[in-house]
Amino acid sequence: WIMSDPFQLAQRLQARRDQHLYRQRRVLESPQQAHIQCDGKTLRNFSSNDYLGLANHPAVIAASQQAAVEYGFGSGASHLVIGHSRLHHELEERLAEWVGRPRALLFSTGYMANLGVISALLERGDTVVQDKLNHASLLDGAQLSRGQLQRYQHNDLGSLQQRLQQASSPVLVATDSVFSMDGDIAPLQDMAHLCQQQNAWLMVDDAHGLGVLGQGHGCLREYDLSLEQVPVYMGTLGKALGSYGAFVAGSEDLIEFLIQSARSYIYTTAMPPSVAAASLASLDILSAEPWRVERLQDLIGRFTRGALAMGLPMMPSSTAIQPLLVNDSERALQLSAQLLERGLLVGAIRPPTVPANAARLRITLSAAHSEQDVDDLLDALASK
């Protein structure tokens, strides 16, 4: 007896393998940190988004343990039904203050925050204009909404302007601040200016900027962007903050509107209070230890100078995300496997996460790396 396969899963999986696009998960046997245990081996981790080394920080762990003792583990229901604790509330207030906005609203993940915001704001006939390389969650938010999706060429103001002139209003423009697979930064001040001229709202996804740019406060601080310039800000807590979850920050009206209308906010269980406590502890560390952001910058500088001197085909980036363009997916897998043999964990990023024929090694740096880690990676890359 053979189970029927109307969706042709076996063929579709085989096609993925044939194209070197098949993905497999690595099973870790240690906390998320600069040096991890995997398959009984110690690997130097250049694949994580834990940019400040907070995911395994003792104070973050202690805060979540303490909160679990005080508040129990599960949150019990959605924020609106009964799941909103004092810790969730305090975290919203602290996040709003940290990024310089009147209010903030927690979401369980960044993916859900992006889906929730875009689908709540846009009604039939409205337009959302997005960078072609935006994170999947922003693009999926547009698909879920009743609005029209228009895409412009990556970081191209002329292309954005063209879309804006054709778009039926109201218009939301959405962009990553730091692009997750490229590491480059959107021209946010110019975009804000253009959006204000065209009476469009700008939404910025700062998943890779929060904790890294603006002394850790994110892109709004780095580029001095007012509430009028960026009415919708989204930040995540699972990357540089080493925790889990996300938030949207903006005006009183925006937040109240999302509480009433964002379906991925309303129809889901709130994050456990201990997770909120972990994020609060991360914020404490961020303000008490500005050296982490500076150290990350120093290591980024060390890596980019070294890579430049060796003539490596790096994509231009001044952030913690340093992609080395390989193009061919099979070759990217080979390089990643060779680095692994030398104890260096660097992910091969392939389509559909990146455009066709744009496979790359995505190297991420962390304040938890040593200078030796960075130098050893450069040595290994140079010998390829």
Ligand X SMILES: *Cc1c(COP(=O)(O)O)cnc(C)c1O
Binding status of residue 247 toward ligand X by CB under 6 A: no
CB of 179 to ligand X, least distance (A): 8
Stretch that binds ligand X, among 109-117, 121-129, 162-170, 264-272 (CB under 6 A): 109-117
User: Using CB under 6 A, which residues numbered 19 to 58 contact ligand X?
Assistant: none
Stretch that binds ligand X, among 13-21, 106-114, 290-298, 307-315 (CB under 6 A): 106-114
Q: Which is nearer to ligand X, 250 or 380 (CB)?
A: 250
Note the Cα 365 to chain centre separation in Å. Answer: 14
- For ligand X, the binding residue among 104, 246, 314, 344 (CB under 6 A) is 246
Map residues 130-169 to x or -, x wherever contact with ligand X holds by CB under 6 A.
-----x-x--------------------------------
- For ligand X, the binding residue among 48, 85, 150, 180 (CB under 6 A) is 180
Tokens coding 201: 């709202």
Reference 209, options 187, 232, 191, 234; nearest CA is: 234
Q: Which is nearer to ligand X, 126 or 176 (CB)?
A: 176
Q: Which amino acid is at 194?
A: L
201 close to 172: Cβ distance less than 8 angstroms: yes
Residues involved in catalysis: 180, 208, 239
- Residue 6 burial by CB count (10 A; 0-12/13-18/19+): exposed, middle or buried? exposed
How many residues touch ligand X under the rule CB under 6 A: the total is 14
- For ligand X, the binding residue among 46, 51, 98, 111 (CB under 6 A) is 111
- For ligand X, the binding residue among 32, 36, 104, 110 (CB under 6 A) is 110
CB of 194 to ligand X, least distance (A): 21
- For ligand X, the binding residue among 182, 205, 222, 373 (CB under 6 A) is 205
Strand partners, 35: 44
CB of 206 to ligand X, least distance (A): 8
Q: Which is nearer to ligand X, 36 or 207 (CB)?
A: 207
| DSSP per-residue string spanning 314-330 | BPP--SSEEEEEEE-HH
- Which H or E element spans position 347? strand 347-349
Stretch that binds ligand X, among 205-213, 221-229, 296-304, 316-324 (CB under 6 A): 205-213
Binding status of residue 109 toward ligand X by CB under 6 A: yes
- Residue 306 burial by CB count (10 A; 0-12/13-18/19+): exposed, middle or buried? middle
Reference 116, options 133, 140, 93, 88; nearest CA is: 140
Stretch that binds ligand X, among 105-113, 224-232, 328-336, 354-362 (CB under 6 A): 105-113
CB of 113 to ligand X, least distance (A): 7
- Residue 198 burial by CB count (10 A; 0-12/13-18/19+): exposed, middle or buried? middle
Binding status of residue 208 toward ligand X by CB under 6 A: yes
CB of 138 to ligand X, least distance (A): 7
- Parallel/antiparallel/unpaired status of strands 127-131 and 148-152: parallel
- Residue 341 burial by CB count (10 A; 0-12/13-18/19+): exposed, middle or buried? exposed
CB-based closest residue to ligand X: 110
The span from the CA of 142 to the CA of 27, in Å, is 33
The span from the CA of 348 to the CA of 336, in Å, is 6
**Helices then strands (H, E): number in the chain?**
14, 13
Tokens coding 312: 């490596």
Stretch that binds ligand X, among 104-112, 161-169, 347-355, 367-375 (CB under 6 A): 104-112
- For ligand X, the binding residue among 207, 349, 363, 378 (CB under 6 A) is 207
How far separated are the first and last CA of the chain, in Å rounded? 49
CA atoms within 13 A on the CB side of 242: 32
Stretch that binds ligand X, among 110-118, 125-133, 183-191, 300-308 (CB under 6 A): 110-118
Note the Cα 59 to chain centre separation in Å. Answer: 23
Q: Which is nearer to ligand X, 92 or 312 (CB)?
A: 92
CB of 7 to ligand X, least distance (A): 26
Residues that bind ligand X (CB under 6 A): 109-111, 114, 135, 137, 176, 180, 205, 207-208, 236, 238, 246
